[in-house]
Amino acid sequence: MVENIVPEEGNRILGKDAQRNNILAARVVAETVKTTLGPKGMDKMLVDRTGNITITNDGVTILDEMEIEHPAAKMIVEIAKTQEKEVGDGTTTAVMLAGKFLENAEKLLDMKIHPTIITRGYRWAEEKSQGLLKELSVKVGSKEDLLKVAETAMTGKGIEYLKAKFAQIIVDAVEIVAENNKVNLTDIQIISQKGQAIENSELIQGIVIDKERINLEMPSRINEAKIALIEESLEIKGPETEAKISVSSPDQLQNFLNQEDAMLRSKVEWIKSTGANVIFVQRGIDDLVQYYLAKEGIYAIRRVPKTDMQNLAKATGAKIVSKLSEIAPSDLGYSGYVEERKDGEEAMTYVMGCKNPKALTILIRGGTEHVIDEVKRAVEDALGDIAATLKDSKIVSGGGSIEIELSRKLKEFASELNGRERLAVEEFASAMEFIPITLAENAGMDPIDILTELRAAHDAGMKNAGLNLFNNKIEDNLVNGIIEPLKVKTQAIASATEVAIMILRIDDVIAAKKPIGNSGKLGSMSGYD
Could you list the active site residues? 58, 91-92, 381
Alpha-carbon span 476 to 465, nearest angstrom:
4
Indicate the burial class of 296 (C-beta count within 10 angstroms; 0-12, 13-18, 19 or more).
middle
Nearest to 135 by CA among 402, 446, 413, 411: 402
The enclosing H or E element of 228 equals strand 221-230
Alpha-carbon span 97 to 28, nearest angstrom:
13
Alpha-carbon span 42 to 435, nearest angstrom:
15
- Amino acid letter for position 447: P
Indicate the burial class of 364 (C-beta count within 10 angstroms; 0-12, 13-18, 19 or more).
buried
Other Cβ atoms less than 10 A from the Cβ of 203: the count is 18
Alpha-carbon span 500 to 123, nearest angstrom:
10
Alpha-carbon span 281 to 271, nearest angstrom:
12
Q: How far is CA 459 from each of CA 301, 402, 406, rounded to the nearest angstrom? A: 64, 13, 12
Alpha-carbon span 20 to 40, nearest angstrom:
32
* Cross-strand partners of 509: 13
For residue 3, the 8-state DSSP code is: G
* Cross-strand partners of 339: 221, 350
Other Cβ atoms less than 10 A from the Cβ of 465: the count is 25
Q: How far is CA 505 from each of CA 128, 187, 419, rounded to the nearest angstrom? A: 21, 42, 20
Please, are residues 101 and 429 in contact by the beta-carbon 8 Å criterion? Answer: no
Other Cβ atoms less than 10 A from the Cβ of 319: the count is 15
Which alpha helices (DSSP H) does 35-114 contain, by range?
A: 59-65, 71-86, 91-110
